[in-house]
Amino acid sequence: MARMTMIEAIRDAMDVKMGMDEDVVVFGEDVGYFGGVFRCTQGLQEKYGRHRCFDAPINESAIVGAGIGMATYGKRPCIEIQFADYVLPAYDQIVSEAARIRHRSNGQFTAPIVIRMPTGGGIFGGQTHSQSPEAIFTHVSGLKTLIPSNPYDAKGMLIAAIEDDDPVIFLEPKRLYNGPFDGHHENAVTSWAKHEKGEVPEGHYTVPIGKANVVETGMDVTILAYGTMVYVAQAAARENNIDAEIIDLRSLLPLDLDTIVNSVQKTGRCVVLHEATLTSGFGAELTALVQQHCFKHLEAPVLRVAGWDTPYPHAQEWHYFPGPKRVGKALKRVVEAQ
Amino acid sequence: MSDDKMPEATGPLSISIPEPPTRPGDAPDFSYIEVPKAGAVDCPPVDTKPEDMRDLAYSIVRVLSRKGEAVGPWAEFLGDDLNDESLLRGLKDMMKTRVFDARMLTAQRQGKTSFYTQCLGEEAIATGFQRMMRKGDMNFPTYRQQGLLIADGCSMFDMICQIYSNEKDNLDGHQLPCLYSFKDHGFFSISGNLGTQFVQAVGWAMGSAISGDDKISAAWIGDGSTAETDFHSGMLFASVYQPPVVLNIVNNQWAISSFNGLAGGRNAPFAARAHGYGFPSLRVDGNDYLAVLAASKWATERARRNLGPTLIEWVTYRVAAHSTSDDPSAYRPKEESDAWPLGDPLERLKLHLIKKGAWSEERHTQAMAEIESEVIAVQKEAEKYGTLNRGKGPDPEKMFEGVYKEMPDHLVRQRLEFEA
Ligand SMILES: Cc1ncc(C[n+]2csc(CCOP(=O)(O)OP(=O)(O)O)c2C)c(N)n1
Ligand SMILES: [Mg+2]
């Protein structure tokens, strides 16, 4: 098995699918000759030609809109939005078109499109290179929303996404591209080469959409997390000697409710994490589901730790980021609650 | 259509994927740009009907000849604005902008800031344009128009503190470096999202005109970003409402790794787009300070006389990397900037002034040294208040401020939680 960074794993997923299926096309801003600003598509144009992997004009609405058109023709576009922050001009195309075309045409037309985008903060990117927009997609019926947390999952999930017959939003936590970042920004990040999930099989495999991953089993509390926050959860539990069961959701919609419910019924306590702003975030959905399905088992209120309800600040980045300290506090409160 | 009238099938269809003529390793090739002689392009009266001056969109307005002389109708149009004092000021504005950029680039490499965008090679455009703006007018710039601020006499101390996100940052650390906001200098808060401000500039001008005011605005956008929907929206509203706005496209040939052909700029000049909307446009040598002054005067005069919008395509070249996160040697020939046919704006104005006897190499060297020590002194002063990697920075709690005019309860609670 090869050792890969998350960038390499994502590239490999596209490579595998482009090799298997002529209909897979990759395009977006700077993705052709240059290979993308994060290099996720490097080499694909050279290998598959300019008609399979190409640059697009800087117009996100057109990129998604044209992608939908191609998909309805029969292609399988896997498109890149340079930063999740720049997907908003395409929001109408995603919400009113990609998400609904199957329903409104009663299956005559479908849009099997994958929209990849780097998400999350931690790179001093300020308010327009840091946002986590998952909740504006999970709120839309007709979309699937995925967010891997390691190279193995990233490859398997992206292949599954490209093979899926519905539109998929594929969020890539950019802070994890090169290694598992645990929120301790003062430390150097260990590379994926030293992490078991940096081992990526060659060729085709999938990680099924809709399946969460129990990263650590534990008895004290269940932590629901995804993307970068998986590693923050691990760090916070370790540093506070809390025996946490950490669930990496991976697929936000469809959601693996069984895994969540089984865990919370066992631990009786739950903390929900995300980097996105708190109010109306995906954590609100998770919290509501947990209280509905685990009410009799709960021994403490479910707590959420999330980004503050402000734009992502530049200078105060690490005061904004819900790091291990804040997560640790919440864990203690929930575990110690009588 | 009945079968017998069907044309014969013509084989498989295909699409066109634009590619620049050269890539790393190739010899630079600018043969796609036709450069007319300085002085060759007409300067029609500002109230000429758009359809009678369409040719201006297809040539390039140039004033400075190869020998450094100011020639032709656009030089004449400048009239009193063409004097040594004014040009010397322009030269110093450009020099200051260039020195400022060089210092800030180094500061970024030293970790004093996270990000920087130079305007190397494009200095004439913003510094020249600003000379035709008046107090109360509003620019809607991109991250590459620091020259507007320098030419308006904005405090470099304030600019550097913003770049450093230090405790004197006028934006309290909220915004990325270089995405300034200086209302007092007619400089609108820069967005990180491309194109959004182009249509806002049109709306600002509409606001001024609806109020019967005499203020005008200027929109700014890069060649790559003209692809964004908001560019086209701005063009449409400008056409429909005829507000007092100047619409600037800085065509520096490149977006990040994509050349301007990917924004449709090789099928027709960007300037030609105005004619689809029925308003005038100019295509101008952006590396010719005098041409910049003249075109800016022409377009702002149209706006002030309520003659409606003007589109200007500034033809220039992005000598620097896109930003400190970019390495252009990965996608364009290294020598491309040396081969750029419109030369260097600073050198060209310097040559002109020397030719006129208003300047000399010695005075230039001395002025350069003075500007360098001025910028260094200001930089040192700013560093007393910290840099991104040193000092306490803006008060962390300031991140909760300015989300709303009055802080709602949920944010008050979050701030308390933050303090705890
Ligand atoms: C909506 C949006 N999409 C993408 C980006 C990423 N991006 C930042 S600058 C840039 C290139 C812009 O090129 P151009 O408009 O030519 O301006 P220049 O940098 O050359 O001045 C891109 C793609 C962005 N900031 N906003
Ligand atoms: Mg450009």
Give the pLDDT confidence score for residue B11 in this predicted structure: 81
State the distance from the centre of ligand 2 to the C-alpha of A244, rounded, in angstroms. 50
Give the pLDDT confidence score for residue B244 in this predicted structure: 98
| Cα–Cα nearest to B346, from B119, B139, B178, B142 | B119
* Planar angle of CA A199, A201, A204, nearest 5 degrees: 145
Say which residue the tokens 């240059």 belong to. A34
- Residue B369 pLDDT class (50, 70, 90 cuts): very high
- B356: amino acid identity, one letter: K
Other CB atoms within a 10 A radius of the CB of residue A86 amount to 21
Q: What is the percent of chain A where pLDDT is above 70? A: 100
Half-sphere exposure of B348 (CA within 13 A, CB side): 25
Other CB atoms within a 10 A radius of the CB of residue A2 amount to 12
Say which residue the tokens 């534990």 belong to. A218
In 3-state terms, chain A is what percent helix, strand and coil (to 5)?
Answer: 40, 20, 40
Superfamily of domain B22-389: Thiamin diphosphate (ThDP)-binding fold, Pyr/PP domains (3.40.50.970)
Report residue A225: phi and psi, to 5°. -145, 170
If phi > 0 it is left, if psi is from -120 to 50 it is alpha, else beta; for residue A107 that is left
Q: In this structure, are residues A60 and B194 in contact, taking their beta carbons and an 8 Å threshold? A: no
Please report which helix (H) or strand (E) contains residue B202, including its range.
helix B196-210
Count Cβ atoms within 10 A of the Cβ of residue B419 and give its class: 0-12 exposed, 13-18 middle, 19 or more buried.
exposed
The CA distance from A92 to A96, in Å, is 5
The CA distance from B201 to B199, in Å, is 5
- Residue A304 pLDDT class (50, 70, 90 cuts): very high
- Residue B9 pLDDT class (50, 70, 90 cuts): confident
Q: Which of A49-58, A325-334, B5-14, B236-245 shows the lowest per-residue confidence on average (mean pLDDT)?
A: B5-14
Q: In this structure, are residues A302 and A256 in contact, taking their beta carbons and an 8 Å threshold? A: no
What residues of B are in contact with residue A314 (Cβ under 8 Å)? 114, 165, 173-177
Task: Using CA atoms of A172, A178, A181, A185 in order, give the dihedral in degrees to the nearest 10.
Answer: -120
Give the pLDDT confidence score for residue A1 in this predicted structure: 83
Q: Would you state the structure tokens that stand for residue B311, as one six-digit string?
A: 């589109």
What residues of A are in contact with residue B176 (Cβ under 8 Å)? 125-129, 314
- A208: amino acid identity, one letter: P
Instruction: Chain B: give the shortest CA distance to residue A329, in Å.
Output: 11
The CA distance from B175 to A316, in Å, is 10
Q: A127, B264: Cβ pair inside 8 Å?
A: no
The CA distance from B122 to B311, in Å, is 18
Q: How many CB pairs under 8 A join A and B?
A: 124
Give B195's DSSP letter: T
**pLDDT tens digits for range B223-277:** 999 999 999 999 999 999 999 999 999 999 999 999 999 999 999 999 999 999 9
The CA distance from B39 to A243, in Å, is 79
Q: How much is the average pLDDT of A263-288?
A: 98
Mutate to test the interface with A, among B223, B228, B325, B398 (most CBs of A within 10 A): B228
Q: Is the ipTM of this complex over 0.90?
A: yes
Beta bridge partners of A221: A244
In order of their start, the domains of chain A are 2-200 (3.40.50.970), 213-336 (3.40.50.920)
Q: Which of residues 209-228 of B touch A (CB under 8 A)?
A: 224-225, 227-228
Facing residue for B228 by CB, picked from A54, A89, A316? A89
Count Cβ atoms within 10 A of the Cβ of residue A274 and give its class: 0-12 exposed, 13-18 middle, 19 or more buried.
buried
Give the pLDDT confidence score for residue B217 in this predicted structure: 98
Q: Taking 60 as the threshold, does the pLDDT of residue B2 lie above it?
A: no
Q: Taking 80 as the threshold, does the pLDDT of residue A170 lie above it?
A: yes
Q: What does the mean pLDDT of chain A come to?
A: 97
Q: Catalytic residues of A, which ones?
A: 129
Q: Which of B3-7, B97-101, B160-164 shows the lowest per-residue confidence on average (mean pLDDT)?
A: B3-7
Q: Which of A48-52, A71-75, B11-15, B184-188 shows the lowest per-residue confidence on average (mean pLDDT)?
A: B11-15
* Closest ligand 1 atom, residue A88 Cα: 1
Give the pLDDT confidence score for residue A212 in this predicted structure: 98
Give B367's DSSP letter: H
Ligand of minimum distance to the alpha carbon of B143: 1
Q: How much is the average pLDDT of B178-204?
A: 98
- B77: amino acid identity, one letter: F
Give the pLDDT confidence score for residue B3 in this predicted structure: 56
Give the pLDDT confidence score for residue B58 in this predicted structure: 98
Whether chain A has a CB inside 8 Å of the CB on B389: the answer is no
Q: Taking 70 as the threshold, does the pLDDT of residue B391 lie above it?
A: yes
Q: Which of A82-91, A190-199, B55-64, B247-256 shows the lowest per-residue confidence on average (mean pLDDT)?
A: A190-199
Whether chain B has a CB inside 8 Å of the CB on A125: the answer is yes
The CA distance from A124 to A185, in Å, is 11
Q: Taking 80 as the threshold, does the pLDDT of residue A282 lie above it?
A: yes
Q: How much is the average pLDDT of A233-256?
A: 98
Q: How much is the average pLDDT of A125-134?
A: 96
User: Which residues are CB-contacts of A278 (< 8 A; sequence separation ≥ 6)?
Assistant: A304, A306, A307, A308, A309, B414
- Residue B65 pLDDT class (50, 70, 90 cuts): very high
Q: Is B192 in the pocket of ligand 1 (CB under 6 A)?
A: yes
The string over B339-370, giving b where at least 16 C-beta atoms fall within 10 Å of a residue's C-beta and e elsewhere, is: ebebbbbbebbbbbbeeeeebeeeebeebeee
Q: How much is the average pLDDT of B395-404?
A: 97
Give the pLDDT confidence score for residue B50 in this predicted structure: 97
State the distance from the centre of ligand 2 to the C-alpha of A123, rounded, in angstroms. 24
Q: What does the mean pLDDT of chain B come to?
A: 97
The CA distance from A270 to A334, in Å, is 7
* Closest ligand 1 atom, residue B225 Cα: 15
Q: In this structure, are residues B349 and B289 in contact, taking their beta carbons and an 8 Å threshold? A: yes
Beta bridge partners of B70: B64
Please report which helix (H) or strand (E) contains residue A244, including its range.
strand A244-248
Q: Taking 90 as the threshold, does the pLDDT of residue B290 lie above it?
A: yes
* Closest ligand 1 atom, residue B222 Cα: 15
Give the pLDDT confidence score for residue B269 in this predicted structure: 98
Domain with CATH 3.40.50.970 in chain B: 22-389
What residues of B are in contact with residue A85 (Cβ under 8 Å)? 192-193
CA B291 to chain centre: 15
User: Which residues are CB-contacts of A54 (< 8 A; sequence separation ≥ 6)?
Assistant: A25, A26, A27, A31, A32, A45, B17
Say which residue the tokens 């601020």 belong to. B149
Q: Is B348 in the pocket of ligand 1 (CB under 6 A)?
A: no
pTM comes to: 0.97
Whether chain A has a CB inside 8 Å of the CB on B167: the answer is no
Instruction: Chain A: give the shortest CA distance to residue B347, in Å.
Output: 32
The CA distance from A184 to A161, in Å, is 31
State the distance from the centre of ligand 1 to the C-alpha of B283, rounded, in angstroms. 21
Count Cβ atoms within 10 A of the Cβ of residue B51 and give its class: 0-12 exposed, 13-18 middle, 19 or more buried.
exposed
List helix spans (H) across B2-155: 73-78, 84-109, 123-130, 146-151
Instruction: Chain A: give the shortest CA distance to residue B331, in Å.
Output: 6
Give the pLDDT confidence score for residue A314 in this predicted structure: 97
Give the pLDDT confidence score for residue A228 in this predicted structure: 98
